[in-house]
Amino acid sequence: MTDLSADLVQQKQRLREKLRFRRRHFAANLDGMAQLAAFRALPAQLSGLLADHAVVGAYAAWGDEPDVLPMFAGLAEAGALALPHHAGRVETMDFRRWRPGESLVKGPWSTQQPGDNASLVVPDLIFCPLVGFDRQGGRIGQGGGHYDRYFAAHPGALRIGIGWSVQEIDATPRESTDIALDAILTEQEFILCGDRL
Poorest-pLDDT segment among 15-24, 41-50, 61-70, 156-165: 41-50
pLDDT tops 70 at residue 1: no
pLDDT tens, position by position, 27-39: 988 876 676 678 9
Q: What is the largest CA-CA distance in the chain?
A: 49
Domains assigned to the chain: 3-192 (3.40.50.10420)
The 10s digit of each residue's pLDDT in 98-132 is 999 999 999 999 999 999 999 999 999 999 999 99
What are the tens digits of pLDDT across the range 169-194? 999 999 889 999 999 999 999 999 98
Integer-rounded Cα Rg, in Å, for the chain is 16
Kindly state the average pLDDT of the residues 74-80.
Answer: 89
Mean pLDDT of 63-88: 93
* Higher per-residue pLDDT: 182 or 4: 182
Q: How far, in Å, CA of 22 to CA of 131, rounded?
A: 10
Q: Closest by alpha carbon to 42, among 65, 62, 70, 6? A: 70
pTM of the model: 0.93
Q: Supply the mean pLDDT for the chain.
A: 92
pLDDT at 158 over 70: yes
- Which of left, alpha, beta for 35 (phi over 0: left; psi -120 to 50: alpha)? alpha
How much of the chain exceeds pLDDT 70, in percent? 95
Q: Give the Cα separation of 178 and 58 in Å (integer).
A: 19
Q: Which pLDDT score is estimated for 33? A: 62
Q: Are the beta carbons of 169 and 132 closer than 8 angstroms?
A: yes
